[in-house]
């Protein structure tokens, strides 16, 4: 057993409970199960309360047709309790999994912070390594959820992949795994993918035959893992990063009304006029973030947005105005107005 | 093997790391309430006039009526600001106290959770068959 394989296996052992849980009872199924248990729990609870209340409210007794529902309140109550017990079990298991996934419910400010945990191994990589065949790392990687998404992202068809998997000259076992050195941050699936592409000549040839460079493959890996993690990070409603996005009350009570500015200018904040396409553009989002960062400075907070006619400069401002209106901006420019 | 590993890891987490996790979540919620009710901003501007509405017509000199009128308007605006801010601060503090009490209850319930689930199932069966 080489050192890298040992490092990964050691970390897998530490998170074995959560890894087994996710293998037997995957995240998607857990989510559906919790919803399926929660809905009847609430409905039966309500039904129980209503049926219990019917005989005690004269108005209901007189108006409702005679049924035996009022005698069944304890049955509804009992079933609601059973669903509650299941829901508590599922919720506790979910918290257990999330705690393992995020390395505790730490207060992470951004996605970058999550990635920067020194010396660790990301849970995604542990999941990947746990699930794959240790005698065939490349095959296991490609057949995993993450690996499959990366291959699809690279634009390689299913048929070509199946052909590749069955016609390989050499199979890469875990004992030959050499992970790249990671100076800051933790080991991620992209480092594993890098190790594969370095060690597996067949994989390199396959990618090369599709015009995909090593960097292209690693970028695709990075993209898939970033998307996966971003979704999970956004679901952490309890994190300061997510809670802090909710606009505060009464912050503008110390500011006055702007009669003169409003008389000679048009207020963009709150109009919601930025274009749909632009509001979903990564480039526009980046520009808005840059402007936001400049305007949030305590000194020399001036931003020039320069561009040819029709390139959407006004839309950039509209996007910033929408962001301010929704409160999802940096603290210093919260509740500020944008006039045009 | 898998189920026993899940159970052992879960119990180890439930009575160990989970308390730290719950503490983090509640500290985040308290931090959020301070932010949401803008308690620090409102305290800093507690006596400022409401929306900066002040009477600026009095320009100095011997104009007792103008002076009195401006002073009265300014005092009223500061009072309005003070009362509205105090109400919001009070609402925020009530929410924070509510969260603190909830945190204590959740910590107790979390400790008793395995037993609590068994009791809920037992009572539920009792109610169904009653």
pLDDT at position B65 is 82
pLDDT band at A202 (very low <50, low <70, confident <90, very high): confident
Q: Supply the DSSP string of B62-114, one letter for each residue.
A: S-HHHHHHHHHHHHHHHHHHHHHHHHHHHHHHHHHHHHHHHHHHHHHHHHHHH
Q: Report the residue from B10, B45, B48 with minimal CB separation from A17.
A: B10
Which of chain A's residues have a Cβ under 8 Å away from the Cβ of B52?
A: 254-257
Closest approach of chain B CAs to the CA of A233, in angstroms? 14
Euclidean distance between CA atoms B110 and B14, whole angstroms:
8
Cβ–Cβ below 8 Å for A96 and B20: no
Cβ–Cβ below 8 Å for B28 and A243: yes
Euclidean distance between CA atoms A211 and A155, whole angstroms:
10
A92 touches chain B (CB under 8 A): yes
Closest approach of chain A CAs to the CA of B60, in angstroms? 23
CB B16 within 8 A of CB B8: no
| pTM for this entry | 0.75
Q: Report the residue from B20, B37, B125 with minimal CB separation from A104.
A: B20
Q: What tokens were used for A267?
A: 């207020």
Cβ–Cβ below 8 Å for A244 and B35: yes
- 3-class SS of residue A65: coil
Q: Report the residue from A16, A246, A256 with minimal CB separation from B36.
A: A246
Q: Highest mean pLDDT range out of A111-125, A236-250, A274-288?
A: A236-250
Cβ–Cβ below 8 Å for A253 and B32: no
Query: Is the per-residue pLDDT at A326 higher than 80?
Result: no
Euclidean distance between CA atoms A142 and B47, whole angstroms:
65
* The dihedral sign for the CA sequence B93, B95, B100, B104: positive
Calculate the alpha carbon distances from A296 to A243, A300, B5, B109 in Å: 20, 10, 50, 43
Query: Is the per-residue pLDDT at A185 higher than 80?
Result: no
Q: What mean pLDDT do residues B38-53 have?
A: 85
The residue with tokens 């037997």 is: A24
Instruction: Give, as one character, the DSSP assignment of residue A173.
Output: -
Query: Is the per-residue pLDDT at B76 higher than 70?
Result: yes
Euclidean distance between CA atoms A120 and A149, whole angstroms:
24
A21 touches chain B (CB under 8 A): yes
Distance of CA A179 to the CA centre of its chain: 26
Q: Which residues fall within 8 angstroms of residue A140, CB to CB, at 6 or more apart?
A: A131, A132, A133, A134, A147
Q: What mean pLDDT do residues A11-23 have?
A: 88
CB A98 within 8 A of CB A105: yes
Query: Is the per-residue pLDDT at A139 higher than 60?
Result: yes
3-state secondary structure A242-253: HHCCCCCCCHHH
Cβ–Cβ below 8 Å for A96 and B10: yes
CB atoms within 10 A of CB A215: 8
Query: Is the per-residue pLDDT at B16 higher than 60?
Result: yes
Question: Which of A84 and A327 is assigned the larger pLDDT?
Answer: A84
Instruction: Give, as one character, the DSSP assignment of residue B60.
Output: S
Cβ–Cβ below 8 Å for B28 and A240: yes
**Closest of A263, A270, A280, A259 to residue A321, by C-alpha:** A270
Euclidean distance between CA atoms B94 and A142, whole angstroms:
54
pLDDT digits (tens, 9 = 90+) for B86-125: 999 999 999 999 999 999 999 999 999 999 999 999 999 9
pLDDT digits (tens, 9 = 90+) for A81-121: 999 999 999 999 999 998 888 875 554 444 455 455 545 78
Q: Report the residue from A21, A80, A253 with minimal CB separation from B6.
A: A21
Distance of CA A275 to the CA centre of its chain: 25
The number of residues making up chain B comes to 130
Strand partners, A267: A339
Q: Report the residue from A81, A249, A254 with minimal CB separation from B37.
A: A249
pLDDT band at A270 (very low <50, low <70, confident <90, very high): low
Query: Is the per-residue pLDDT at A273 higher than 60?
Result: no
Cβ–Cβ below 8 Å for B38 and A81: no
Strands (E), A58-111: none
Q: Which residues fall within 8 angstroms of residue B33, CB to CB, at 6 or more apart?
A: B39, B92, B95, B96, B99
pLDDT at position A131 is 85
pLDDT at position A109 is 40
């Amino acid at each position: 057993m080489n050192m890298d394989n040992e490092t990964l296996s050691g970390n897998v052992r530490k998170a074995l409970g959560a890894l087994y849980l996710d293998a037997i009872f995957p995240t998607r199924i857990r989510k559906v199960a919790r919803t399926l248990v929660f809905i009847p729990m609430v409905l039966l609870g309500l039904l129980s309360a209503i049926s219990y209340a019917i005989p005690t409210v004269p108005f209901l007794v007189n108006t409702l047709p005679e049924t035996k529902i009022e005698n069944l309140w304890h049955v509804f109550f009992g079933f609601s309790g059973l669903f509650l017990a299941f829901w508590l079990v599922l919720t506790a298991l979910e918290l257990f999994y999330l705690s393992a996934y995020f390395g505790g419910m730490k207060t992470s400010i951004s996605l970058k912070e999550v990635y920067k945990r020194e010396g660790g191994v990301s849970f995604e990589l542990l999941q990947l390594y746990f699930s794959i065949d240790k005698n065939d790392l490349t095959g296991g990687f490609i057949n995993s959820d993450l690996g499959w998404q990366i291959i699809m992202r690279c634009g390689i068809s299913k048929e070509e992949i199946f052909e590749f998997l069955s016609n390989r000259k050499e199979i890469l076992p875990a004992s030959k795994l050499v992970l790249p050195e990671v100076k800051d941050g933790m080991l991620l699936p992209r480092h594993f993918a890098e190790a594969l592409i370095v060690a597996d000549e067949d994989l390199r040839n396959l990618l090369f035959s599709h015009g995909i460079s090593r960097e292209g493959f690693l970028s695709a890996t990075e993209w898939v893992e970033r998307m996966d993690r971003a979704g999970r990070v956004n679901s952490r409603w309890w994190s300061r990063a997510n809670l802090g996005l909710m606009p505060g009350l009464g912050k503008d009570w110390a500011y006055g009304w702007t009669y003169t500015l409003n008389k000679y200018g048009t207020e963009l904040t709150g109009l919601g006029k930025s274009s749909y396409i632009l509001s979903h553009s990564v480039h526009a989002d980046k520009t808005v973030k840059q402007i936001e960062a400049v305007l949030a400075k305590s000194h020399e907070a001036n931003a020039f947005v320069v561009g040819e006619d029709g390139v959407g400069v006004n839309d950039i401002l509209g996007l910033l105005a929408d962001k301010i209106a929704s409160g999802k901006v940096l603290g210093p420019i919260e509740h500020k107005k944008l006039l045009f | 093997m898998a189920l026993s590993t899940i159970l052992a890891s879960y119990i180890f987490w439930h009575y160990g790391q989970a308390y730290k996790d719950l503490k983090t979540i509640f500290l985040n919620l308290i931090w959020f309430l301070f932010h949401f009710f803008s308690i620090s901003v409102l305290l800093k501007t507690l006596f400022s006039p409401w929306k900066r509405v002040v009477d600026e017509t009095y320009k100095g000199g011997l104009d007792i009526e103008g002076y009195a009128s401006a002073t009265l308007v300014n005092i009223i605006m500061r009072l309005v600001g003070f009362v509205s801010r105090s109400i919001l601060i009070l609402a925020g503090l009530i929410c924070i106290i509510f969260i603190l009490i909830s945190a204590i209850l959740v910590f107790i319930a979390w400790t008793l959770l395995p037993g609590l689930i068994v009791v809920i199932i037992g009572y539920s069966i009792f109610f169904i068959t009653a």
